[in-house]
Each structure stands twice: as structure tokens, then as C-alpha cells.
Structure 1
Amino acid sequence: MDVDLRKIRYFVALAEELHFGRAAERLHIAQPVLSRQIRALEDELKVQLLVRTKRATELTAAGRQLLDDARPLLASAEAARRRVVQASRGTRTFTIGFMPGITVTAAVRAFTARHPELTIELLRTSWHDQVEVLRDGRADVSIVRLPIDQQGLTIRPLFDEPRVAMLPADHRLAGKPSIRIGDLADEHLLQDPDAVPEWRDIAVELREGTAGRVPTFQSVEEKLEHVAARNGISVLPLSTASFYTRPDVVPVPIEDIGPNHVCLAWSSTRRSKVIHDFADLALDVVNGEQAAPT
């Protein structure tokens, strides 16, 4: 059976919205059209994907499985489309994603010298899209910060670095040479708790179910603005904290949490020699910087 990507795309929108009207509006189609396409998809797959009642629309077990499989499928199709468009234009572009606080200049210069025929583009990513830019083809490689969903990716470790707590300058812990993660148990974390599992284990607000009183934020700039406003705290890699310095926010080392692991990642389906060339150069640059005298 051939899979119709348009129907899959419609299904994903509906599965994420769980509301036919909102999904149709998001897709810029009429609601009856969406309903017909979903029924046609169910007929093709010979399964029921959704249960629709007067009160709610819910995914069946088959629907949940299709949603898990559909997202990488659509991302892979989009990545192929991007590469085909590039090839049709006669351009050879190599895009490198990187997280805040990470400097890629030395690796890019070395790579450009080795591959002058390529146009190098840089793409700043965030905690929430550092993997998605690889899955949908926006980046050929990406320098990521673990933990990430590594399914379908090749991962090459680059280096580790300590993490620090970002606190308001007048915070009770701001003047300490170091703290322990338990000292932050009563604080609100202004980022995805999965990024700091050590805090998740001891957080009072997660035990009491009050974590939603202030939302989490994606960009470093947003997090630091809210830290300065005393809306919460953030835990950042040292390089990120050093890059985004400001007088009203203070970094404090945390003694008892592990380092942030920085890695190079790319799609496991990519067999390009150019990708491996960049990976080797990036590791050479890191090793050279670590061996250099301070």
C-alpha cells in the first residue's frame, strides 16, 4: 500500500489539535474535507485512528502509533524535498546547527578551507528544535546538548562542560562559591525539567503540582529576563552563561550535578563523506583547543 503523505499530514494536525475545526483551520481546508481525508486514511489502513464523540476527539491505540511514526516520516520527506530543491538550483549548501553558547568559528574555517566549493550556512537552534532541524533537513549536522531523542541519529561526542545555576543578583544563594542541587528544591525552573533531571528529582513544585504558575521558556534571553525579574531560576552550561553575561543575573556553580554533554549529530540515513569530514574536523578542533596551554 502506498502512503499518501497529504493524508498523513492531515492526520498529524488533527492528532495534535484533537479538534476537527482547529485542525482544518490550521491546514487551511474546510472541515468536511478533513473529515473525508481522515476516513479515507482509515479505510486504506483498515484501522480506526480516532474516536469522535460529542464532547471530544481521542486517538485510538492505532492512532497513537501512527502519530509516533508519522512525525519522522513527514520530517524525512521534508528533508528530501529541501535537498532536491537545492540540487535543482545547482547550489551545494552545507548547514551547521549550533546551540547557544557554542562557538563554531574554528571548525567552520577549517571546513571551508577543505571544501571551498560549498556554501556554509549556520543555524542557531534551541533546546526544542536542535534535533528537529536534522529530521526536517534544515541542517546537515547540528552541535547538540544532551539529553536528546537519539532515534535515527548518529551521535559523536565532542566535549563536556559544567553547568551553573543562573540566579537574580540579590538571590539568597548568589554570593556563594558553589551550591548543591538540593538548595534549589524550592525554586521554579524556567526551562523544560527534562533538561535538568537532577532538579526534577527533588523539585517541590513538581511534587505539589504547582509547576505551571510561570511558563517555561525556549530562548536563553527569555530565561534570563525572567531570572532577573525573580520569576524563577535556570540551569545553563557554563559556556552559555559566560556568553550571556548581565549585571542583574549571577551564575553559581552546582557541585552535585553532572556536566552538559556536547555532541555532533546528524541523520543516520545520511552517508555523505562531507558530513564525516566535518565531524572529523570538529573533533580535531576540540582536541586542539583542549590541548592548548591556558
Structure 2
Amino acid sequence: MSDQRAAGAFRVGFVPGVTLTKWSRVWEERHPRVPLEIFHVDAADPALALREGRADVVFARLPIEADGFSVIPLYDEQPVAVLPKEHPLAEAESVVLADLAGERRFDQDPTLDLVAAVEVVETGAGVAVMPQSLGRLYARKGVVSRFVTDLPATTIALVWPEEATTPEVEDFIGVVRGRTANSSRARRDESEAPAASKTAKKGAADRSGGKPGSAARPARARGPQRGSGRGGNPRGGTRGRRS
């Protein structure tokens, strides 16, 4: 990704395995003048791009350190075991963790990323366990993936800074959650209504002397003045309140 933010772009970071095609297409239809700037973030610390101000939102794999961030869980991913094609378990529909006892787990090797782990699995040296989307992303001809039924699922979530819930962020949430353009607009209008109401009340209070809900009193008209030769105000009639 370029260090220079594209002018007017909405910046979206995502961990490997997340597919943005559908959401990107809907965004482009609704916001043709606001391009998406999409880039990978570090799976180990996906919120770093938010803390450094490089992203407006990120798709992250939970759990993450959520202090100061809003988090919306989106969907779960089942774990899979990536096995060599010739492995005895390759014919099974699914496995349990006990089936992998005694196998070398290359996903647990700190010297390997998952891409390298799958490459080693293909040689027949062991196995690897990872979320299903990553098993698909890093698939090779010499491996197969089987669901591990007794491991917990992982969750993909949308994350952004609590203090940066902009209209664009709200619109992007609407896209991701499948809202129509009209419903997203309506939700934004509802969220803006209280602020507009407070502004209107403050303006009314200022005009009424500082007390909300009180109306400004009209100035009294002066009666006939001595020596004026006519009834009414000699300077042009009744004085009204200031505009």
C-alpha cells in the first residue's frame, strides 16, 4: 500500500482469508466518488493499522485487544486440518483433535507462517490446523482439508476506533450487514437527529435569554408622548424584539 492516502478514499484493512469482493462492489455502486483503499493487515495485530491512522476500519480475526475500538462480529469460520493427500485421514469427511495426536503441527512452528506450513505439509512431514478460509487460500495440489469438529470456530469482525464513527463508517457497516441504501441513510439520519435537536434548542435558548423553552417577550409599545403632536412612538412606532 502507498504511504500516501488516496484523496477522499475510505481505507479498509483486512486479515488474510477475508473476501471483500461483494462488499466492494456494493460500496462502489453507492459511493462512486469515494474509492475504497484496500490492503492487508498483520494477522497478529490487525488493529495496529487503526492505531497508526492508516485505516478507517479493519476486518480482524477475534480475539483482539478491543480497548478504544468498536467491534461487530460478522461470521464464524470452522477450523480445518490440512493433510498430505496420501495421509490415512485424507479419506475421512472430518476429524477430531485426538486423530492428530502424534502428528507434527506445522501451524504451531513459530519459524513458519501458514503459507510455509502448508508447503511443508505437502511434503508429507506433518499437518497444520487453521481457519477454513486460510486452508482454501493456501491450498496446494498435494494437500486436502478436513473439518476439525471439536475445535472452536474463529470469528471475523469489523473493527474501528470508537471515536471515529463517521458517516462513511456507518455506511460501510450498512454495506457489510446487508442493509439497503435507504435503510442505511435512515439510520444515519436518526443518529444525527438528536444532535440537530440539541442545536435547535440551544439556538432557541439563546434567543430567549438563555432559558430553554422560554419565549422572548415582545417589547411594550409606548403610549402618546408629550410634545410629539401625535399619538405613538415619535421614532417610528412600536419597538419589537431584536432579530
TM-score band by shorter chain is 0.5 to 0.7
- CA drift of 1:182 comes to 2.1
Using the alignment, how far apart are the partners of 2:41 and 2:126 within structure 1?
A: 23
Q: Do structure 1's residue 217 and structure 2's residue 119 form an aligned pair?
A: no
Using the alignment, how far apart are the partners of 1:232 and 1:127 within structure 2?
A: 23
Question: What TM-score comes out, normalization by structure 1 length?
Answer: 0.54
- CA drift of 1:231 comes to 4.5
Equivalence for 2:30: 114
Equivalence for 1:254: 148
Using the alignment, how far apart are the partners of 2:106 and 2:161 within structure 1?
A: 30
Partner SS for 1:284: coil
Could you list the runs of 5+ residues in structure 2 that have no partner in the other structure? Answer: 180-243
- CA drift of 1:95 comes to 1.5
Taking a change above 3 Å as real, the CA distance of residues 159 and 147 of structure 1, as seen in their structure-2 partners, is same
Taking a change above 3 Å as real, the CA distance of residues 223 and 134 of structure 1, as seen in their structure-2 partners, is farther
Please provide the CA RMSD for this pair: 2.4
Q: Which has the greater radius of gyration?
A: 2
Partner SS for 2:17: coil
Amino acid in the other structure paired with 1:172: P
Moved more, 241-250 or 271-280: 241-250
Residue 169 of structure 1, aligned match among 78, 82, 85: 85
Amino acid in the other structure paired with 2:70: T
Map 1:43-82 to 2 at 5 A. Answer: none
Equivalence for 2:187: none
Partner SS for 2:156: strand
Equivalence for 2:203: none
Does the CA contact (< 8 Å) of 2:107 and 2:130 recur in 1?
no
Amino acid in the other structure paired with 2:129: V
Taking a change above 3 Å as real, the CA distance of residues 138 and 237 of structure 1, as seen in their structure-2 partners, is same
Question: What TM-score comes out, normalization by structure 2 length?
Answer: 0.64
After superposition, the C-alpha distances for 1:32-88 in whole angstroms (9 at most, x for unaligned) are xxxxxxxxxxxxxxxxxxxxxxxxxxxxxxxxxxxxxxxxxxxxxxxxxx8xx75xx
Residue 189 of structure 1, aligned match among 94, 105, 108: 105
Could you list the runs of 5+ residues in structure 1 that have no partner in the other structure? Answer: 1-81, 193-213, 286-294
After superposition, the C-alpha distances for 1:157-211 in whole angstroms (9 at most, x for unaligned) are 111121111112222322222111122233333336xxxxxxxxxxxxxxxxxxx
Partner SS for 1:112: helix
Partner SS for 2:152: coil
Amino acid in the other structure paired with 1:276: E
Taking a change above 3 Å as real, the CA distance of residues 142 and 232 of structure 1, as seen in their structure-2 partners, is farther
Using the alignment, how far apart are the partners of 2:129 and 2:43 within structure 1?
A: 13
Does the CA contact (< 8 Å) of 1:177 and 1:253 recur in 2?
yes
After superposition, the C-alpha distances for 1:101-123 in whole angstroms (9 at most, x for unaligned) are 22111111211222222231111
Taking a change above 3 Å as real, the CA distance of residues 126 and 186 of structure 1, as seen in their structure-2 partners, is farther
Using the alignment, how far apart are the partners of 2:166 and 2:132 within structure 1?
A: 33
Residue 58 of structure 2, aligned match among 136, 142, 157: 142
Give aligned pairs, total: 177
Partner SS for 1:257: coil
Amino acid in the other structure paired with 2:142: D
Does the CA contact (< 8 Å) of 1:189 and 1:216 recur in 2?
no
Using the alignment, how far apart are the partners of 1:135 and 1:171 within structure 2?
A: 44
Between the two proteins, what is the percent identity of the paired residues? 33
- CA drift of 1:216 comes to 4.0
Does the CA contact (< 8 Å) of 1:168 and 1:248 recur in 2?
yes
Q: Do structure 1's residue 284 and structure 2's residue 178 form an aligned pair?
A: yes
Using the alignment, how far apart are the partners of 1:215 and 1:226 within structure 2?
A: 14
